[in-house]
Amino acid sequence: MRNQAVESHSQGEKFSYRITFLIMLLEECRKSDINTCIDTTGFASEAVLRRALPLTDTFLFDIKLIDDEAHKKNTAVFRINVF
């Protein structure tokens, strides 16, 4: 079996299209018995993560910083907003 890694970083409408594509890709991989891995910062809604969860074999969470202020300064979002 092959491993498939998909990473998506965007906002707004483009993000919505990428999520739709991601879910479709994960469904096709599942049908073809291809292992899947999502490399993510976790900056997504719980609903999106819940849609991807049953279709994904492995999640790799990229933790940038633990300190909230440093995280905000370096990534433009508070760590609390990251799942």
Q: Which residues form the domain of 69?
A: 3-81
Q: What is the per-residue pLDDT across 41-80, written as a single tens digit (0 to 9) for each? A: 777 788 888 899 999 999 888 776 677 787 778 777 766 6
pLDDT score recorded for residue 60: 87
CA-based nearest residue to 18, from 5, 9, 27 = 9
Q: Contact at 8 Å (CB) between 18 and 43?
A: no
Q: Could you tell me the CATH number of the domain that includes residue 67?
A: 3.80.30.10
Give me the residues paired with residue 5 across strands: 37
pLDDT in tens, 20-46: 899 999 999 999 999 999 888 777 788
DSSP sequence for 7-34: -----HHHHHHHHHHHHHHHHHHHHTT-
- Number of structural domains the chain divides into: 1
Where does the pLDDT of residue 7 fall: very low under 50, low under 70, confident under 90, or very high at 90 and above?
Answer: very low
Other beta carbons within 10 angstroms of residue 52's beta carbon come to: 19
